[in-house]
């Protein structure tokens, strides 16, 4: 779903970067029509995925030899998004507790309308787990 190797029609194409030299990250996101349900709204699982992906980016860069996996994601979907809506996705670190990295994320639709909000727990694991 996410990551810098994904392309249009193969992922969400959310690539956040630092916002004004702070620990907050942000990215523009215009959801593709392929992500809509029968009523023309973005399916909720893609809002969850956008919150999830953005939360991971709040932990980067990681120390050598460390990877992260999602431990928990609690989200509230507060509104609807239509394909083609020009959204902004934000993420910010909430702290570190041992191997846990905590992050907040939000999605804003046009007119600064908050449509989703989440809190994630990312867990550090040895990157050798994936090799």
Give the predicted TM-score (pTM) of the model. 0.91
- Quick one: tokens of 93? 């670190």
Please state, rounded to an integer, the average pLDDT across all residues of the chain: 92
What is the distance in angstroms between the CA of the first residue and the CA of the last residue of the chain? 20
According to the model, what pLDDT value does residue 12 have? 83
According to the model, what pLDDT value does residue 13 have? 80
Task: Count CB-CB contacts under 10 A for residue 100.
Answer: 14
Task: Please write the tens of the pLDDT for every residue from 32-45.
Answer: 999 999 999 999 99
Task: Please write the tens of the pLDDT for every residue from 45-86.
Answer: 999 999 999 999 999 999 999 999 999 999 999 999 999 999
Name the maximum alpha-carbon separation found in the chain: 45
* DSSP assignment of the chain: --STT--TTSS-----EESTTSS-EEEEE---GGGB-TTSSBPHHHHHHHHHHHHHHTTPSPPTTEEEEEEEEEEEE-S---TT--EEEEEEEEEEETTEEEEEEEEEEGGGEEEEEEEEEEEEEEGGGG-
Is 17-130 CATH 3.10.129.10? yes
- Quick one: tokens of 51? 């919150």
Angle (CA) 47 51 54, round 5°: 135
Q: Among 18, 67, 12, 58, which Cα is nearest to 35's?
A: 12
According to the model, what pLDDT value does residue 21 have? 87
Q: What percent of the chain has pLDDT over 90?
A: 85
């Amino acid at each position: 779903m996410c990551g810098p190797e994904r392309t249009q029609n193969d992922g969400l194409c959310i690539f956040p970067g630092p916002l004004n030299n702070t620990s907050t990250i942000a990215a523009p996101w215009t959801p593709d029509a392929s992500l809509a349900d029968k009523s023309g709204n973005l399916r909720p699982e893609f809002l969850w995925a956008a919150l999830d992906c953005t939360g991971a980016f709040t932990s980067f860069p990681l120390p050598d030899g460390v990877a992260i996996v999602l431990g928990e994601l609690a989200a509230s979907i507060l509104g609807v998004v239509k394909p083609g809506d020009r959204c902004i996705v934000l993420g910010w670190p909430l702290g570190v507790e041992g191997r846990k990295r905590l992050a907040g994320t939000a999605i804003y639709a046009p007119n600064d309308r908050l449509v989703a909000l989440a809190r994630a727990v990312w867990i550090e694991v040895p990157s050798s787990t994936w090799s």
